[in-house]
């Protein structure tokens, strides 16, 4: 048992729900706040009724969160934001609001209670990078007026706001930069490449590759990602710190592996590359290794196998 009381905004989302599981399992009390716009109640159904778990349906862009909910919080974790490109492109103003006004409201809660603040930022702050692999010192190459900027610049502003509270108000903060994460509880239609390929392969549909398929990503299994979160949350380092798997794959390599693991006979279909889509993505995790003693343990073949098994049993079970 722990005396920590942790508010997790976005706790019903893909990453947030796995985080809530781990926090409860280790003995912390968790207040999960989510407006369920992209999060899902079924992601936290296993925690319903647990004496160390509370769920509050609320949009953190609003300022009316009941003060009693945050009483005694020791940590405030900001994971609330649309993260899949189709979602943040469909809801651009909401995405900007949750990463600006929503983040400020959570920072104010943390300051009021003397709590530690944890920001889940993203590798998207590096944009279409000119430095490879991406180190935390790199300032990025982001198009500030492109369609993707609502997410990229939203997260960059969240980082700036978090560090302003840290410097001006001496708030204890942590910033993690997340690289492509995958695993159970992802939505089949969320538009991210792993879910696209897995869903298409299991349906027997063509796998959609944008561009020539030589653009790269580095994929981190969700259990490893959450372990990195906890190492950063509990440690003394402000960050930002990259948490991701440094093994880099082209989209063609990923498609080939998905077809192999699913046994699918799906074809591959090429479409034009979306605007401002990063051509390269690979974290330098030297800081995570040296400061947190963290590195990923689950490699892509194993993690994809687990993810495909979950999709078969949970998403495509009735097919």
Per-residue pLDDT tens digits of the chain, which is 319 residues long: 679 999 999 999 999 999 999 999 999 999 999 999 999 999 999 999 999 999 999 999 997 787 888 889 999 999 999 998 889 999 999 999 999 999 999 999 999 999 999 999 999 999 999 999 999 999 999 999 999 999 999 999 999 999 999 999 999 999 999 999 999 999 988 889 999 999 999 999 999 999 899 999 999 999 999 999 999 999 999 999 999 999 999 999 999 999 999 999 999 999 998 877 888 899 999 999 999 999 999 999 999 999 999 999 987 765 4
pTM of the model: 0.95
110 φ/ψ sector (left φ>0, alpha ψ -120 to 50, else beta): alpha
Q: Given this model, what pLDDT does residue 191 score?
A: 83
Tell me the C-alpha distance between 257 and 212, whole Å: 17
Burial level of 145, CB count in 10 A (0-12/13-18/19+)?
exposed
Both tokens assigned to 190: 């969320």
Q: Which residue has the tokens 């969320």?
A: 190
Q: Given this model, what pLDDT does residue 317 score?
A: 63
User: What domains sit in the chain, N to C, each tagged with a CATH number?
Assistant: 5-181+220-243 (3.40.50.720), 183-217+247-282+298-315 (3.90.25.10)
Q: Given this model, what pLDDT does residue 318 score?
A: 53
Tell me the C-alpha distance between 115 and 6, whole Å: 9
Q: Given this model, what pLDDT does residue 108 score?
A: 95
Catalytic residues: 151
Within 10 angstroms of residue 233's Cβ, the number of other Cβ atoms is: 17
Q: Given this model, what pLDDT does residue 1 score?
A: 61
Q: Given 3-state DSSP classes, what are the helix, strand and coil percentages for the chain, each rounded to the nearest 5?
A: 40, 20, 40
């Amino acid at each position: 048992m722990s005396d920590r009381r942790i508010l997790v905004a976005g706790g019903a989302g893909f990453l947030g729900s796995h985080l809530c599981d781990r926090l409860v399992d280790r003995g912390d009390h968790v207040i999960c706040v989510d407006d369920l716009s992209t999060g899902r109640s079924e992601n936290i159904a296993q925690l319903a009724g647990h004496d160390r778990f509370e769920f509050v349906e609320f949009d953190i862009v609003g300022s009316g969160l009941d003060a009693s909910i945050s009483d005694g919080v020791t940590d405030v974790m900001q994971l609330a934001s649309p993260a899949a490109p189709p979602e943040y492109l469909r809801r651009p103003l909401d995405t900007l609001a949750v990463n600006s006004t929503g983040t400020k409201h959570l920072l104010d809660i943390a300051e009021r209670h003397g709590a530690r603040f944890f920001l889940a930022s993203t590798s998207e702050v590096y944009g279409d990078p000119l430095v490879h692999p991406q180190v935390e010192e790199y300032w990025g190459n982001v198009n500030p007026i492109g369609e993707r900027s609502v997410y990229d610049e939203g997260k960059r502003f969240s980082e700036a706001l978090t560090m302003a509270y840290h410097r001006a108000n001496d708030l204890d903060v942590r910033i993690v930069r997340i690289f492509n994460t995958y695993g159970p509880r992802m939505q089949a239609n969320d538009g991210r490449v792993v879910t696209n390929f897995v869903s298409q392969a299991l349906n027997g549909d063509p796998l959609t590759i944008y561009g020539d398929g030589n653009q790269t990503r580095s994929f981190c299994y969700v259990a490893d990602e959450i372990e990195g979160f906890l190492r950063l949350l509990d440690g003394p380092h402000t960050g930002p710190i990259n948490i991701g798997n440094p093994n880099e794959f082209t989209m063609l390599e990923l498609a080939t592996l998905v077809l192999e693991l699913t046994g699918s006979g799906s074809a591959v279909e090429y479409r034009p590359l979306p605007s401002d889509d990063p051509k390269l993505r690979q974290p330098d995790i030297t800081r995570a290794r040296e400061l947190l003693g963290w590195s990923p343990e689950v490699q892509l073949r194993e993690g994809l196998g687990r993810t495909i098994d979950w999709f078969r049993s949970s998403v495509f079970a009735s097919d």
